[in-house]
Amino acid sequence: MRLTADVPEDERIRVERVGPEILRNPRHVDGAYFIEEGGRRHIEHIEAQALYRGDEPERLAWYGVDLYHEFRLPVRSTLVLLFENRSPAKIRPGWRGDGGDVRVSSKFRVKRLWEQDAAEVLRQDHPEPLEWTPVLLHDDRACLEAYRRLHSRDDRDSLLNFMLLGGFRYGIDRWREVLKGYGEQVMYDNVLDMLEGDDFGREIIARIERRGEERGREEGLERGVEKGREEELRTLIRSSCADYFPGLDTAAIDSVTDLHRLRVIAAAVLRARSEDEARAALAIG
């Protein structure tokens, strides 16, 4: 949380996570924390986005309203952008809705992780911020040191997140080369196995589908959860092709309504090393 919110390290500041068990709509909130300082309390609300869609300002407003309505505490919201190539250069940090006698307005802070210095995360030495090192402003030595610390703690979940974030930022092939560049100093065989095989794609797809399930429920889609998953998988396929194979036409996936087929196409696109491989993946029937 200290990586994404402007809360200084101070033993006099008490930080407590708002657990999903006390939230009415836990699926709405990426992260919320009670902050107590000098007898005053507020809520730090954090939303992280790997791919900016454009509806985030409105969603942050309504999530903030939900948190205020539930706890009657001031709310500070921060939108955290993970990847420079999936985020706009400028974002208006607020939203206003006018519904006649009902008006809603909000503001939020924007934090771009690629502008945050990894040296500060290494100084703090907490597992959760360490796993974000691949998307921060860093050199290979900082990334290597974060990997060493996570590996020495045998923290598989944090290490897997570290690998996923690196794969998202650099692409699988480039990330593989970064890992190999560490040479014999790093035990990366198991990590390469994840990248070479299906685990990497399956983990990404599982996370994408969980997000689609939430969006399907939120938006009351006709086929609910299933359609939400389909839409998120299509977005994953389109964005991956746009980033690495911009000449490919992905229009054909719009007519694919079979969830299993979309999963297979997404996994094949994530593993593609050339435009020809990606084109073949899109043609999977």
Handedness of CA 137, 1, 178, 269 (dihedral sign): negative
- Give pLDDT, residue 112: 92
pLDDT higher than threshold 50 for residue 194: no
Average pLDDT over residues 257-279: 78
**125/73 Cα distance (integer angstroms):** 31
Q: Bigger pLDDT: 38 or 243?
A: 38
**169/214 Cα distance (integer angstroms):** 24
* Full DSSP string of 81-110: E--GGGS-S---SEEEEEETTEEEEEE-EE
pLDDT higher than threshold 90 for residue 57: yes
Q: Bigger pLDDT: 46 or 218?
A: 46
- Give pLDDT, residue 259: 75
- Give pLDDT, residue 279: 84
Average pLDDT over residues 132-140: 84
Query: Do 13 and 34 touch, CB atoms closer than 8 A?
Result: no
- Give pLDDT, residue 188: 45
Q: Bigger pLDDT: 216 or 158?
A: 158
Average pLDDT over residues 87-113: 92
- Give pLDDT, residue 165: 79
pTM: 0.61
- For a pLDDT cut of 70, what percent of the chain falls above it? 69
DSSP state of 246: T
Place 231 in a pLDDT band, splitting at 50, 70 and 90.
confident
DSSP state of 35: E
Average pLDDT over residues 86-97: 91
Bridge partners of 17, per DSSP, are 33
Query: Do 233 and 263 touch, CB atoms closer than 8 A?
Result: yes
Q: Bigger pLDDT: 186 or 277?
A: 277
Query: Do 35 and 7 touch, CB atoms closer than 8 A?
Result: yes
- For a pLDDT cut of 90, what percent of the chain falls above it? 15
- Give pLDDT, residue 125: 73
Pairing of strands 109-112, 75-81: parallel
DSSP state of 26: G
Average pLDDT over residues 77-83: 90
- Give pLDDT, residue 172: 64
Residue type, 45: H
- Give pLDDT, residue 60: 92
Average pLDDT over residues 188-211: 52
pLDDT digits (tens, 9 = 90+) for 144-181: 888 888 878 877 667 777 877 787 777 766 777 777 76
Domain ranges for the chain, please list them. 14-114, 116-196, 200-282
